[in-house]
Amino acid sequence: MNNEYTVGQYLVDRLYELGLRHLFSIPGDYTLDWVDGYVVPSKIEIISEVNELNAGYAADGYARQKGQYGIGALCVTYSAGALSAANPIAGAYVERVPVVLINGAPSIKRTLEFEQTGLSAHHFISGRQTDLQVFEYITAAAVRIDSPHLAPMLIDYALTQCITERRPVYIELLEDIVDLKCDRPKGNLTPAKAISDAKILEKSIDTVKSKLDSAKPESAKSPLIWLGVEVDRFGLEKQAESLIKELNIPYVTQLMSKAVLSENDPHFMGVFDGMASSDAVQDLVNKSDFILALGVWLTDINTVGWPPDIDKTAFVSLDTIKFGTYFGAQVSLEDFIAGLRAAGVRRRDQALPQMPKGGGFKLNLGDKINYQGFYDFISRYITDKTIIGSDASMNYFGTLLLKVEAARGYFAQPSYSSIGYIAPAATGICLAKDADQRVMVFTGDGGYQMTALCVATQTRYGLNPIIFVIDNGVFAVEQWLADATVFSNSNAPFKEGLRVHRCFYSKMADVVGCKGYRVETFGELENAMTDALANRSSPSIIQVVVDDPKSIPKNAEWKESIDAKLRAASHPTKIRGLGIPTTVNEEAG
């Protein structure tokens, strides 16, 4: 490295400017010069991960925890490393998480030798376009830095896209470019503001105002606000909270946006995710005559068994508004909330609905643990300093009904739903959280097997998440999706491909040097929790043995009756957009 300002330094400075303080890295010779020469001397700490999958999930969790004030990033080597990171980058793209993938690439000389003579450098597949073309489809920007003169422009473009779209970007950094001279940064990078069509925005606000303003004859009698994931992704929590208080209207969230505001908020009624919601929340949504859905995305996970009523729901998301037959394009969520707050909607003088309170769970500490009992029991350990995370598993249902007091204190990947995500994501969450917060994540045994060595990284860097591994010996959520009747029929077998080899997950602690517990009863779980909460220097793996593999959370049982009817009928098909089977009457064609 020379004393002149270089491309390598430019990238480090811009990443730091955007709030990056930790870079997840997998060793590779194409990245060594940049990592050792520029990142190590900087204020960005290198977090050496065990593999690219875990690094990608960790960067995703880091970016989510940082929220609007930061990004996540990982550094890998060409093809062999980068293509292993494609899955977490795809997940970040789907769920709008700002992650920067820095891919160290072979030099210009190596590239030309391969293309012109066939002499292949290691990790090459088919030339300079392979990795770039792959990531063009799953990032908001994909750039190749092969010129020091263009480097500042390309880096700024990619990073601006990252913070504007809140989606991952790909930066391919050639090994021989990092030490070359380039211009210094000019100004600060800021997200590009979404542009709303003024007339359509005004009409959209008037349309919604007529349903919310109690002085209007067409005003709804029982309106409800449904806060979605875009409120979090675009940092609109304070604006949304102010709107709710000014209007004095109750609100619900979706699983993707659970705890976007503190669930202690008096206007908060619960999480609405179709039939997985509590009976009280379903009743509230049913009785509502107008729902304002702010930033809500519709997926088969957050509408399970419950097609949304588009005639009474105004969806403001994806830079559009949709309400019955009305459609308005180029309406940003930020502008809409600001405009509605400024529109003079009369505050409702009304008492808020009273929702049933949880609690009253009785147990014998000697009882064997079941799925629902576990979640009833664990709720007592959640405070306003607890961050909760769930993997793609039956834990979605269990965590959905937990009361999360911390604002932005819940993390999951419900749309992309990559099994194995949450345990390594906890690495990033732990590094980005406040010092007085504690991370608890819940995963199934099958998911944990996919990314188990995340605890090695967590131990190495003194992180202390509590990881609950629900050990029931089966990919239960996959069986639930395919046919939930199996869970209520003691004689019905699971699909053979869904069996999980049962392991001593708690023994991982002996391998990596952290704490591990295997619990079968509530008394053993209580003791493990006491010890795990006291352990502040390493992760704690709590292997929760659920002897009955057909034990599932109560709010997942509704699908059993639906699937039972389907099994008795002919011509199974799928409800469009829900992913839940239904039938076509044979006589009706």
Q: Band of the pLDDT at 47, cuts 50, 70, 90?
A: very high
Q: Band of the pLDDT at 120, cuts 50, 70, 90?
A: confident
pLDDT for residue 586 is more than 50: no
Q: Hey, what are 410's tokens?
A: 């819940």
pLDDT of residue 92: 98
Q: Residue 23 and residue 74: Cα distance in Å, rounded?
A: 6
Give percent of the chain with pLDDT exceeding 70.
96
Placement of tokens 């995370």 in the chain: 389
pLDDT of residue 2: 53
pLDDT of residue 136: 98
Q: Band of the pLDDT at 584, cuts 50, 70, 90?
A: very low
pLDDT for residue 69 is more than 90: no
pLDDT, mean over the chain: 93
Give how far Cα 566 sits from Cα of 35, 303, 438, 551, 558, Å. 56, 19, 44, 22, 13
pLDDT for residue 119 is more than 80: no
Helix H or strand E segment including 332: none
pLDDT of residue 68: 86
If we measure between CA atoms, which residue out of 306, 334, 336 comes closest to residue 323? 336
pTM above 0.85, yes or no: yes
- Give the residue-averaged pLDDT of 491-515: 96
| Sheet containing strand 72-77, strands side by side | 45-48, 22-25, 72-77, 99-105, 169-174, 141-145
Give how far Cα 506 sits from Cα of 54, 374, 377, 503, 549, Å. 20, 18, 20, 9, 19
pLDDT of residue 303: 78
Structure confidence by residue, pLDDT tens digits, 530-542 = 999 999 999 999 9
pLDDT for residue 231 is more than 60: yes
pLDDT for residue 487 is more than 50: yes
- Give the residue-averaged pLDDT of 155-182: 97
Q: Which of 89-103, 351-365, 418-432 has the lowest mean pLDDT?
A: 351-365
Structure confidence by residue, pLDDT tens digits, 153-167 = 999 999 999 999 999
Helices (H), 318-388: 333-341, 371-378
Angle between helices 333-341 and 198-212 (to 10 degrees): 50
pLDDT of residue 107: 81
Angle between helices 522-534 and 371-378 (to 10 degrees): 40
If we measure between CA atoms, which residue out of 555, 556, 554, 547 comes closest to residue 480? 556
- Give the residue-averaged pLDDT of 212-226: 92
- Give the residue-averaged pLDDT of 61-65: 98
Q: Are 394 and 476 a contacting pair, CB within 8 Å?
A: yes
Q: Band of the pLDDT at 111, cuts 50, 70, 90?
A: confident
Domains of the chain, earliest start first: 7-174 (3.40.50.970), 198-341 (3.40.50.1220), 371-556 (3.40.50.970)
Q: Band of the pLDDT at 345, cuts 50, 70, 90?
A: very high
pLDDT of residue 571: 47
Structure confidence by residue, pLDDT tens digits, 21-43 = 999 999 999 999 999 999 999 99
Structure confidence by residue, pLDDT tens digits, 288-317 = 999 999 999 998 877 778 888 999 999 999
pLDDT for residue 588 is more than 90: no
